[in-house]
Each structure stands twice: as C-alpha cells, then as structure tokens.
Structure 1
Amino acid sequence: MDKLSAIRAFVLVVQTGSFSAAAREQGTTQATMSKKVAALEDDMGVKLLTRTSRELSLTEVGQDYFHRCVSILSELDEAESNARSQMGRPTGSLRISAPVVFGNRFIGPVLAEFLRNYPELKVDLHLSDKHVDLVAERIDIAIRAKQLEDSSLIARHLFDNPMVLVAAPSYLSTNIEPTSPEQLASHNCILYSMLKSIGVWHFSRKGKNQSVAVSGSCRCDSGDVILQLAIDGVGIAQLPVWMVKEFVDSGQLVILLRDFEVNPLPFHAVFPQNRYVPLKVRSFLDFIKLKIEHSELYSDIRATSKS
C-alpha cells in the first residue's frame, strides 16, 4: 500500500463529502478511492469513516486523524512548493476563495492575464460570500471583507473599502430622506448578514464616531442581491462605492448622508500561517494587488477616500 496516496485519498473523501466526488477530482474511480481508504483502515486496525447508503461521517478516531493528516499534508505541500520556488516559477494548483462581487469585479477581468503569465499554474476559483475553513477546504488564499479576528491566518491588506448609503428615488418618493444617522431607525434598511454586527451601522463625522441600530424587512449574504434590492426601491443599503457608482451616475440610486462618513470595510487576502509563503501564493498576491491599484474601480475608491 502507498500510504501517502491512501492518506491523500482519505482526506479528499472527507473534504469532498463522498467517494464519488473525490474520485472525480482525482480522475479515478470510486472503487479505487474506496479501496485506498479501506486499506488505510486495515493497516491501522481502526475505523475512520462510518458509511451509510446516503452519507459518510467521521468516527471519533477518524476526526482526530483527519485533522492531523490535513496538517501533515499541508507541511508536505509547503515543502514541495518551497523547493519548486527555488526554480523561480510557480507550478501546481492554486485554490482561491473570494466573495462573489469581488471575484466578478476584480479577479474575473484579470484572471486570463494571470494564467498567461503563469502557464504552469492551474487556478481553482471558488466564489462565495461564506467564509470557508482554509485548511479543511484546501484553500491556498482567500479574500475577505471584514476586520480579521483569526490569528491562525496571515493577512495582507489589499485596500480599505469606502462605503456609502444609497436608496432608489422610488424609495425616497414615499419616505423622508434621512439627514442624520439616528433617523435610520425609522427606515427600512437592507442588511448584509455576513457582518458580525448585522444590525449596527457605524459612522464618523469631524473625528467623532457614532453607531446606530438599524433594521429592515430583508437581510442577505449577497452584495449583488442587496444592490438589486436597493435599485428596486426596497430600502436603504450600505454598499461599497465601486459597486454603486454607475447606478448613482445613472440616477438609479441616490447617495444619502453625505456629511457623514460610513466606516470603511477593509479587504484582506488571507492564507494559512506556514513558515514559508508558497511562490504561487506570493505571485497571485503581488499580481492582484497591482491590478487592483491600477483598476478604474480602485480609482473610484481613491477619489472617495480623498473627498
């Protein structure tokens, strides 16, 4: 038995949730993956997985073994990546996780250029507003829009994301436009559910900070959906300036409370805390940061930050 191959098979089965999904990712058969895991269990004399006709679950021993194997494989992959980096060209697979809107606006338009620059890299891009477990999901780098709290991750700041309050003219035609943050309490506010403090919006004016409780008929984990709800006149939304600029320019949205600064939302690239940052991660970080700083969307961010 090739034990390393069996361990990788076991970890992949757990991460993908089934033998068939793991087999598809490996380009092999379900039977082959099942035999590798069974051989691993026989070799150790323990049961790692409980199999039913509908699902797989880890045994107590399997749970501990899985996390240790993930850590060991991460170290092995890191060592291999570091060795390859001595050759000066990133290779292998780069798994990236990013919010949907960020991926569509910032990564998607430049991904082809990145692949041309690094032809020996394969990119696996996952767009979701949910925060994934980087180790368990084998994510090399994730983009996150929030204040970071996980000390087990290394973060590289990309930019501070200026936010604005917006509403559609149709909403303002039936609701009195707020002139102070306190008046938001009487408005229908569309809330982004991925934030830690969902029902609290933060402002500053002349160096004085202010927080207000807000509520509304809808909360959502997608910035795109919140934008559409605002355009459709459902209520007031708090969104990045680069998301709303074209709709403000076209008159579909109106910026509110211009005398108050909405606290910016920082964007970071995060990756697992290893001794060496793999070359493929460094290459993507340098590339995307440069592209963001030279994009038209970022010019809007800089202009808003200085205004």
Structure 2
Amino acid sequence: MKVFIAVEANNGFASAAESLSISAPAATRAVSALETTLNTKLFHRTTRRIRLTEAGRLYLVEAKRLLEDLKALEAKVTGAHLAPAGEINVTAPILFGERYITPIIAKFLVDFPQVSVNAYMYDHIIDLIEHNIDVAIRIGKPKDSSLYATTVGYVGRVTCTTPQYLANNHPIHTPEDLKHHSIVYPTSFNEPAVWTYHKEGKAQAIKVKPRYQCNQNRSAIEAVKHGFGVTRCMSYQVADELASGELVSVLTDYEDAILPIQAVSLEGRYNQEKVKQFIGYVKEALGNNEYLNARN
C-alpha cells in the first residue's frame, strides 16, 4: 500500500523506489502483487508515463486514510503525541469560506507545518466521498445522518439596506411594506421570488418583485451598499457592514429561527488527528465572533 501511494506521488516506479530506499523492480513487484490481490488494475502503464485507473483513484483515497488511521492508532497505543500532518480537503460556501474559513486555514497552516490544505468554495453541497472531502462547513442541519457533525456557530437571515435609503423611502415595519421598495434578489434564477418570514409561530410568505436579480450574494450586497434597495441574506454575509453601521437590518422581529453552522465529516475521518484539530480551530474562531454565535 505504501509503495502504491509512493508511485502515484512520484509519478513513476523509479522515483518512488528511490524515495522508499528500495529497488525499482521491487516497487514494480509490490504494486503488481497488490493488483493481483485486488484483482484489478490500479495504473494505466505506457513506456512514458503511468496514470491511475478509476479503481486506482478510489483505492488511493482510502489507502491514504487507512495509513493515517494506522499512525493515529499506533500513537494512541504507545502514548505518543501525534502532531497533525498530511493533506486536508475542506469545502465551504463561497462568501463564508472567503471571510471566515480562509483566515482559520492560514493560522492552522502556520501552527502545523506538516499539514497542507486544499479548499473548495462552492455555494452548493458536494458529495464528501466523491470529492474526498475531510471537513465540510455547512449552514443548517445535515440531512445525511451518517455524517459526523459538530456545531461551530449560529447564523440567521437578515433583511437589510443602508441608513440613507431607509431615511429617504417608505418605512419598513412589516413584510408587506416591502412592496413599496426596490428589491435586490440573490437567486439561482430557477426559484420563485419569495421571502418567508415568521412571527409568533406563523409563517408569512411575501412574493417580491425584484428590480435587480443576480446569482451571487456578494453582488446583491454591493448593490445595496451603493444605495440601491433592500436585500435579504445570511447574517454572516453582512456582519462587518452591520457592525460598522454601513448597513442596517429591518424586520428583525419577523426573521426565521437561527441556523447552526456545522463542521461535517465522514465518521471514519473525524477521528483523524488533523481533522479533529482543524474542527477545533474552526469552533474556537467562530465561537469568538458575536455575529456567528448569537442564538437569538
């Protein structure tokens, strides 16, 4: 297994053998024996190069994880402290990842020189197994009960605008007042323009008529910051603007209940030292942010 991983990492048998202090024929025999045991090819081989087969890609992911688990087990049995090491694949929503997770990653990398991180920022949920993700930062409770989830903070929705816009336009006291305003609507363009509010346990769906629709929250927020209309987004997306007074929130009595921010991982990966440590860093950093830890 170690030889197989080394061959992939070094793009060849000769360089892999050198890194492991064994002969090239020995490396070739080891991988061939592994393929025989698995009854499948792990590499496509030509005279000039090698590349992983589909089975090889799947095996590589699990082989790396198994070796890391073995190291952790050996350290636990011997009582040795095992510092985080290796590669961590992290995913998060784009704006949340840029504003809050990237600084955490930077600190983690400084504190643990043996770790490297691959970050994937998407506003849609990706499959953890298919994309080999160790930690996914998600807003809301996971629908998959097989995932291990750690709550690292809380956020809510906020309807907001600038103080200047609010002073020069119709007051906003209830959701119905939004019909008098220019609406900036972040959307995927395949959903109805509806904002749902809640008060005293009752839901109130308001169909809005956007004057500006865009598929990125950042663009919607920037439009409002420049004096145009009202938008609705997650509280973390405008935390800095609300704190500075650049934006103000309205309809706070009608907003939904708070949503948990969760660090999600596959159950087997949560026990890896690097994953546990990283989630701990995320929880500590977000827990110290008042805009990401308010429960009301």
Structure 1 residue 203 corresponds to structure 2 residue 197: yes
The aligned residue for residue 141 of structure 1 is 135
The aligned residue for residue 127 of structure 1 is 121
CA distance in 2, matches of 1:198, 1:152: 32
CA distance in 1, matches of 2:237, 2:41: 53
1:299 to 275, 278, 290: 290
User: In terms of mean alpha carbon deviation, does 276-285 or 258-267 score higher?
Assistant: 258-267
TM-score (norm 2): 0.68
CA distance in 1, matches of 2:153, 2:137: 11
8 Å contact from structure 2 (residues 158, 235) kept in 1: yes
User: In terms of mean alpha carbon deviation, does 165-174 or 129-138 score higher?
Assistant: 165-174
User: In terms of mean alpha carbon deviation, does 206-215 or 137-146 score higher?
Assistant: 206-215
Q: What secondary structure does 2:282 align onto? A: helix
Structure 1 residue 168 corresponds to structure 2 residue 159: no
Structure 1 residue 266 corresponds to structure 2 residue 270: no
1:237 to 231, 238, 256: 231
Pairwise CA RMSD of aligned residues? 4.1
After TM superposition, give the deviation of residue 278 of structure 1 in Å: 1.1
CA distance in 2, matches of 1:235, 1:46: 59
TM-score (norm 1): 0.66
CA distance in 1, matches of 2:58, 2:213: 41
Structure 1 residue 150 corresponds to structure 2 residue 144: yes
CA distance in 2, matches of 1:198, 1:81: 51
Query: If you compute each CA radius of gyration, which structure gives the higher value, 1 or 2?
Result: 2
8 Å contact from structure 2 (residues 165, 228) kept in 1: yes
8 Å contact from structure 2 (residues 163, 248) kept in 1: yes
Describe the shift of the 1:141–1:128 C-alpha distance in structure 2 as closer, same or farther (beyond 3 A): same
CA distance in 2, matches of 1:185, 1:247: 24
Residue ranges of structure 2 left out of the alignment (5+ in a row): 16-27, 45-52
User: In terms of mean alpha carbon deviation, does 83-92 or 173-182 score higher?
Assistant: 173-182
Structure 1 residue 218 corresponds to structure 2 residue 213: yes
Give 1:176's aligned amino acid: H
8 Å contact from structure 1 (residues 191, 198) kept in 2: no
Give 2:229's aligned amino acid: G
The aligned residue for residue 188 of structure 1 is 183
Q: What secondary structure does 1:262 align onto? A: coil
Per-residue Cα deviation, 1:34-64 (whole angstroms, up to 9, x for no partner): xx9xx99x98688999xxxxxxxxxxxx87x
CA distance in 2, matches of 1:292, 1:242: 11
Q: What secondary structure does 2:252 align onto? A: coil
The aligned residue for residue 56 of structure 1 is none
User: In terms of mean alpha carbon deviation, does 238-247 or 152-161 score higher?
Assistant: 238-247
After TM superposition, give the deviation of residue 286 of structure 1 in Å: 1.2
After TM superposition, give the deviation of residue 105 of structure 1 in Å: 2.6
Describe the shift of the 1:180–1:84 C-alpha distance in structure 2 as closer, same or farther (beyond 3 A): farther
8 Å contact from structure 1 (residues 192, 226) kept in 2: no
Describe the shift of the 1:244–1:28 C-alpha distance in structure 2 as closer, same or farther (beyond 3 A): same
2:70 to 66, 69, 80: 80
After TM superposition, give the deviation of residue 170 of structure 1 in Å: 6.2
CA distance in 1, matches of 2:103, 2:147: 27
1:7-156 counterparts in 2 under 5 A? Answer: 9=8, 26=9, 28=11, 65=55, 69=59, 72-73=62-63, 76-77=66-67, 79-80=69-70, 82-83=72-73, 86=76, 87-88=80-81, 89-156=83-150
Describe the shift of the 1:124–1:47 C-alpha distance in structure 2 as closer, same or farther (beyond 3 A): closer
8 Å contact from structure 1 (residues 205, 260) kept in 2: yes
Describe the shift of the 1:111–1:180 C-alpha distance in structure 2 as closer, same or farther (beyond 3 A): same
CA distance in 2, matches of 1:73, 1:47: 12
8 Å contact from structure 1 (residues 159, 267) kept in 2: yes
After TM superposition, give the deviation of residue 225 of structure 1 in Å: 2.6
8 Å contact from structure 2 (residues 162, 247) kept in 1: yes
CA distance in 1, matches of 2:124, 2:67: 25
Describe the shift of the 1:125–1:233 C-alpha distance in structure 2 as closer, same or farther (beyond 3 A): same
Describe the shift of the 1:277–1:226 C-alpha distance in structure 2 as closer, same or farther (beyond 3 A): farther
8 Å contact from structure 2 (residues 41, 56) kept in 1: no
CA distance in 1, matches of 2:40, 2:246: 65
